Amino acid sequence: MHAVNSNGANIPALGFGTFRMSGPEVLHILPEALRLGFRHVDTAQAYRNEAEVGEAIRKSGIPRADIFLTTKVWVDNYRHDAFIGSVDESLRKLKTDHVDLLLLHWPGSCVPMAERIGALNEVRKAGKVRHIGVSNFNTAQMEEAVLFSDAPIATNQVEYHPYLAQTKVLQTARRLGMSLTAYYAMANGRVPSDPLLKDTGARHGKTAAQVALRWLVQQKDVVALSKTATESRLKENFEIFDFALTREEMAAISGLARPDGRIVSPAGLAPQWDEAA
């Protein structure tokens, strides 16, 4: 599996996401994902499954150093003291002395950006975190985060799939040396039944889901998170590095984007999004 280098972080291009996965689901499917070859695991304080993620990794027999582990600080913990305490709690649950990447989960908060970014830098200096990043930030917030940070910002994790153009965010990320980490790649179930994606997959002997994931990771500086609780889909999601989309196919898939393509935008947490371009 290839990796994306963003501001010093070498991030495996395909990650296993655990959003909306219960503890028992994580304990069942994550060991299988690791056995299959996934080495990038994404969780968050808000997912309430960090303990199970940590347990699955510990029992997998795979050296911790071989796994790129990401978690995210929830908005309620952005004040300095709460932030530090919450990271320590996450590390206890994850059964590790560090995470490879720590993100601010959403921008919506009354805590000043300087305080949030300062706390990110502090836990990094303490060795609890190897790389820092953000999630669901618009381009102005990305610029602000970089301005306040001593350490490089590695990535911005955002919703990204064929129906949502993220051109402006991706261009800004590249200019700042960051990557874009894509979540909701299946667009809440729309991708597998899309006629264009199915037809494209048929030409390559692949599924529509594999085409969408390949479209993401084939873009420069883009990391994709996949998520499934089904073992057969797990293998399908992983097998996206043995084919390539043509320039014409990449453009056609990008052409599926529409102005109302965004799915995730919780009030009070989400920013004023950049207009799609």
226-259 burial: b if 16+ Cβ within 10 Å, else e: bbbbeeebbebbbbbeeeebeeebbebbeebbee
Annotated active-site residue in 47, 78, 183, 184: 47
Using alpha carbons, select from 38, 31, 29, 25 the residue that is nearest to residue 56: 31
DSSP string, 214-255: HHHHTSTTEEEEE--S-HHHHHHHH--SS----HHHHHHHHT
- With beta carbons less than 8 A apart as the criterion, state whether 73 and 102 touch: yes
Measured in whole angstroms, the distance separating CA 27 from the mean position of its chain's CA atoms is: 20
102-121: burial string, b at 16+ Cβ within 10 Å, e else: bbbbbbebebebeebbebbb
47 is catalytic: yes
**Cα distances (angstroms) measured from residue 66 to each of 60, 62, 63, 131, 231:** 11, 7, 5, 15, 22
Catalytic residues: 47
